[in-house]
Amino acid sequence: MSSEIEVVEEVSRDEQSPAAGVGDGVPEESLRNDVYTAAAYGDLEKLQRLVEQEGCPVTEPDGLGYYALQWAALNNRTAAAQYIIEHGGDVNATDHTGQTALHWCAVRGAIQAAELLLQEGARVSAADMNGYQTTHVAAQYGQTSFLYHVVSKWNADPDVPDNDGRSPLHWAAYKGFADCIRLLLFLDAHRGRQDKEGCTPLHWAAIRGNLEACTVLVQAGKKDDLMVADNTGLTPAQLASDKNHRQVAFFLGNARRLLDKRCDGNSRLGRISKLGLAPILWCIIFVLLVTYIHSVILATKMPRLTAAAGLLAWFGVLLATVGLVMFYKCSCKDPGYIRMNMHDTHETKDDEPLLKIEINNPALLAGNWSQLCATCKIVRPLRAKHCSTCDRCVEQFDHHCPWVSNCIGKKNKWDFFAFLILEVSAMLVTGGVCLTRVLTDPLAPHSFGAWIQYVGKNHTGAISFLIADFFLFFGVFALTVVQASQISRNITTNEMANAMRYSYLRGSGGRFRNPYDHGIKKNCSDFLINGYNEDVECIEELGRTEEGVGMMNIGRSSNLANGDSHTRGEYARGHGNGQYVINVNSNSTNSKTHNGHVHSSHCSHNNHGKTRNDSAPLGLGLGLGRNSRSVTSSS
């Protein structure tokens, strides 16, 4: 059993000649002197000359069946698109595949051109012959900003199925676009939707071995998502194993085992398990404290303490007692939970955008999609992370401490650090007092062997306390040093562990750079005085690489002509990417094929024939056929 795309036929570049559909004997340069090429280049002057002086129409398709408005939309040529519309271009005109100019906008994420088309009456719900709407195309090509725009402002359906029952979430999972997955889950896309083959988005992510996509889906999902079987009876983990994606199969299998062990939070056992190890640690500290008081301070077989020694001994008790209070506060205190957005999409009006309250969120406008939490349905701060144990997002998430049974975050890290300092100090003082009392016992024999027997018999409690104190000290001391080091650099444990994953911790050249490090003095003073450090970058960023374009209102007098350059001649020749014919039902050799033009993100006149194997989307016409074990692509 397999689940791959089957390429039945590949149309060569020679067959896709520049004159195809135009007529024999037409020179190649003639294609460069028409409204389609002018629209693709955004050459408004040439477009005006061809239309107004030479009478070339803008309402007819070219030899390949595509409209000038589609070429302008593909390359985000808003000025050319506006001119074509003003001279009779139909914003809802469909080519032979049923695709409109808005579909072509979604390929490259041309938000400005899409905004113009939608303002001029383009149907956001228009579907092509495969049932793909603009949201499907945006998900296929990983255009998260475009998807966010059409859903939030124009109320496009983020969960509509195509002809094969696949939603945009299926396509994003299959292509491995984790940011699109986060956004779609944030928009309440149905995780458990099964297509005609019984596959959920998690199935398709597992089939392709997309580990990050699987991680996002599992974190936002439930145990049932891992147990759903497709029409062949295979779960996502089994499919990943069948496709030899060992890392994905291990992750999915381990996630299921962890969920199997997790108790129901509403049961008595579940409520007890939520307490974690905190009660055990509290009891250990309390028992050691009682042992110290009984066997060291108040020991009858040891000489009476002097005033100074007694003061020091009871000072250790005070440190440990205050440490227990801080431990209790740290365990019970809110670590910095971010309030969850519990909106009900079923009560949302048809004309009300789902993201109305978040539409101008700076993080989304900047394209920081990792700040979307699909579980809590919030746009979280950059340094906040979702704790899988607590199932909440925590500000300045440091780590989840099982011994405290709570997350360590912005609001309780000071309490946690104070607890560590107090307990380390208490262990030093009490351990020193205990060792001194044992070594200075005047009744102890002088020979080592006899001394060992005497101490073991007469000071059993003190020796037991000393051994426990010794082993506990090194673990707690190491943790205290690590926390102190991180506080001095204003960085969290989570950030240290995932420094290579978080883009905000990478500077020029991909090297590690902590933008929140203001120096040891300021970092420590802010933490000790305020209890936390503010998320203020010490150096203002001069430029950002994240792609994200805000909403634009384009008037009819707009002169914008920006966009990426894709020439019509190069598309006609299949430059850098051949035209594929896809067989969706691979069981039949005479199945229907899709001959639509294949858009590619690397078909630019600046690429000179270079292709990208992994990052280039395969096209709008791709089906998810399941009975082929390999994909053939053009070289």
| CB-CB contact of 367 with 144 (8 Å) | yes
Distances (CA, A) of 183 to 148, 367, 479: 7, 11, 37
| CB-CB contact of 265 with 271 (8 Å) | yes
Degrees (nearest 5) of the Cα angle 191, 193, 195?
135
**How far is it, in rounded angstroms, from Cα 335 to Cα 390?**
11
DSSP-assigned states of every residue in 580-614:
EEEES-TT-TT--EE------TT--TTTTT---TT
Residue 180 a catalytic site member? no
Catalytic residue among 105, 401, 434, 603: 401
Distances (CA, A) of 545 to 366, 367, 368, 561: 9, 9, 10, 22
Q: Write down the number of H helices and E strands in the chain.
A: 25, 9
Degrees (nearest 5) of the Cα angle 123, 129, 133?
40
Distances (CA, A) of 378 to 340, 357, 388: 6, 11, 15
Q: Which amino acid is at 568?
A: R
**3-class DSSP state of 512:** strand
Say how many C-beta atoms besides its own lie within 10 A of residue 274's C-beta: 12
Distance between start and end Cα atoms, the chain: 27
Length of the chain: 635
Considering only CA atoms, which of 166, 96, 74 is closest in space to residue 599?
A: 74
| CB-CB contact of 75 with 563 (8 Å) | yes
**Quick one: CA dihedral 65, 68, 69, 73, positive or negative?**
positive
Residues annotated as catalytic (active site), given as ranges: 401
